[in-house]
Structure 1
Amino acid sequence: MTIETWQQALPHGITLSCRAAGQRGRPVLMFLHGFPEAAFIWDELLEHFAQDANGGYRCVAPNLRGYEASSQPAEVSAYRPKHLVQDIAALAQIEGAPLACLVAHDWGGAVAWGLANQQPQLLQRLAILNSPHPGTFLRALQASEAQQEASAYMNFLVRPDAEALLREDDYRRLFGFFTHWGPATWLTGALKAQYRALWDASLTGGLNYYRASPLRPARADDPGAAAVTLPREMLTVDVPTLVLWGLNDTALLPELLDGLEDYIPRLTVHKVPEASHWIVHEQPQLVAQRLAAFLRS
């Protein structure tokens, strides 16, 4: 099945470059990527769920603002959560909300949690892959030394020289994100070329997500998460929610799953011992199976 690509202009002046499979007019699955990735990570799942035998969905994966050929505002403030949520809400309405499911990983998950909280009428289900809920993440960043240490990389990514350092030695540090948990046999030469092209075109946009967010460990010159309070009404999610979590994720620790049920009454959690943060690459068939079962439930 062919992946369709196009530039989608949104009413508020942002354009998102998108990838999709499946006919318009069918129930929509929307997939949101994280850092340092892009919409192409979902291609296998787009093609899978667009097939009639697997539901015959319209499957759409936008490149979030700041990534690939999507709009790349220069101001860090343009990457605050309210703007990111606005983008996906607008795209969902264009594609045919309510979405049958919003599927999201890493920073895409941060956007998805916000959309599900603020505009639940736009989606029927939510599926999260290794992306912390803001309530449990804030708790851990404030009180867990283990998670503070695991998230220390965030304070590197907000440095003004982060782009230059990440581009050194053919993106050695960025490729190291993928190989930190093992050999990453999925990281083929062709996929590396896709990542290089992505980072050549849009590295600053991805880093601006970290620069715009206070949810990072405190340091001497910045209180970070220590200065943040989130009211409960900003944290609850009332749509059926699947959380699929690779337990070998050493950046986002399993303790982030503790207490999720306090915010999400209709919650299903599946822990995957043999997967890391990059579960979409490592276990695509498992992700497809779990998502299909969730869509049928």
Structure 2
Amino acid sequence: MIQTCDHVLPHGITLRCRTAGTPGRPVLMFLHGFPEGAFIWDEMLAHFSAPENGGFRCVAPNLRGFGGSSSPSEVTAYHAKHLVQDIRALIALESPQAPLACLVAHDWGGALAWSVASQHPDCMQRLMILNAPHAGALLRELRDNPAQQQASAYMRFLRRADAPTLLAEDDFRRTFHFFAQPDGHLPAWLTPALQAQYRQHWALGLQGACHYYGISPLYPPAPGAPDHLQSLQLPEAMLRVDVPTLVLWGMSDPALQPGLLDGLQDWVPQLQVQHLRNTSHWVVHERPARVIDELEHFVQQQFSPDYIAG
């Protein structure tokens, strides 16, 4: 049974979590993205907490700034170091005796997971990323790839001070537009019941969610504005991920171009990539059975040099 609990972290942040499974069992942790919430993982929590599917302890927090979790008003509270601290502390609470069996993450949750895996590889056995760019690849593509620059133009809107107000207008019309298909219609998976769940989630506030974009230097400069990306440098030590990693990538993602996968193995030596055809950015909603199958196989795998090379 899925439950909701508030984890108060030692540094004063509270993360509201969806949980399932028995505490003390091996832990799977799931991190959502924008403009989503912990509830997107409910199908995974129900599946993997079942005894016949491993009996894992499954934990999905609403990230800082989302849902009922702490949502500091100042943009500086959303620096990557603070977000990493949140997840590291949550792992320590839920899995104090052993590393996570796997950290699973999408979109902004994936960006955060890349950092946690790089800085704290000892806290997880596996990393699974769903349509979330590695920072090194995103910086390169935003500098050099006009298609990615155009695809990321929406980030400038989300950095605006009035973005939360505009997103809430007209019953969250603009926020729902992030899910729209190329023809402008909402997808079939976004049922009336799920729409109501999203409205309830967004009604708790969108300022914190927008601060993720406001604090990040990884966004395309406006036409005619100084190009801040040309002088931006990311330390190589913060880009390397030595944890065995599986990337599932929806190849029809309008916001994240396939070029973001190029050269990823240079930073992530133990890498596998699965390309999901006819799948957009919203992998968890569109392909839940595939995500479950891949994660099930991944957490049971014993990595060998021959397997990784293949």
CA deviation string 1:85-104 (max 9, x = no partner): 00000000111141000000
Alignment of 1:186-225 (within 5 A): 186-219=189-222, 220-221=224-225, 223-225=227-229
1:289 counterpart residue number? 293
* Partners of 1:122 and 1:207 in 2: CA distance: 28
Unaligned runs of 5+ in 1: none
Q: Give the structure 1 partner of residue 39 of structure 2.
A: 40
Aligned length: 296
1:130 counterpart letter in structure 2: N
Equivalent AA in structure 1 for residue 258 of structure 2: P
Tell me if structure 2 keeps the 8 A contact 1:66–1:72.
yes
Give the corresponding residue for 1:151: 152
2:263 is matched with which residue?
259
The TM-score with structure 2 as length reference comes to: 0.93
Task: State the 1:180 CA deviation.
Answer: 2.9
User: What is the alpha-carbon distance in structure 2 between the residues aligned to residue 112 and residue 183 of structure 1?
Assistant: 29
Residues 124-170 of structure 1: CA distance to partner in whole angstroms, max 9, x if unpaired?
10000000001111100111111000000000111111122212222
Percent of aligned positions that are identical: 58
The residue number in structure 1 matching 2:178 is 177
Describe the superposition over 1:100-129 as per-residue Cα deviations: whole angstroms up to 9, x where unpaired: 000000000011000000011111100000
State the distance in 2 between where 1:90 and 1:201 align.
24
Deviation at 1:175, TM superposition (A): 0.8
Distance in 1, Cα, partners of 2:151 & 2:20: 36
Determine if the alignment matches structure 1 residue 234 to structure 2 residue 233: no
User: Is the 2:20–2:57 contact (alpha carbons within 8 Å) kept by the matching residues of 1?
Assistant: yes
Alignment of 1:59-208 (within 5 A): 59-96=58-95, 97-181=98-182, 183-208=186-211
SS for the counterpart of 2:206 is helix
SS in structure 1 opposite 2:269?
A: coil
The C-alpha deviation readout for 1:261-296, integer Å capped at 9, x for no partner, is 001110010000121100100010011001111111
Give SS of 1:179's match. coil
SS at match of 1:201: coil
Give the deviation of 1:226 after TM superposition. Answer: 3.3
8 Å contact 2:177–2:186 — kept in the other structure? no
TM-superposed CA distance for 1:221, in Å, is 4.4
Q: Indicate yes or no: 2:270 matched with 1:270.
A: no
* C-alpha distance in structure 1 between counterparts of 2:211 and 2:109, whole Å: 14
Matched letter for residue 184 of structure 1: P
Q: Which amino acid aligns with 1:111?
A: L
Secondary structure, counterpart of 1:178 in structure 2: coil
Write the distance in 1 (CA, Å) between the matches of 2:180 and 2:67.
23
TM-score by length of 1: 0.97
* In 1: Cα distance, 2:279 partner to 2:92 partner: 33
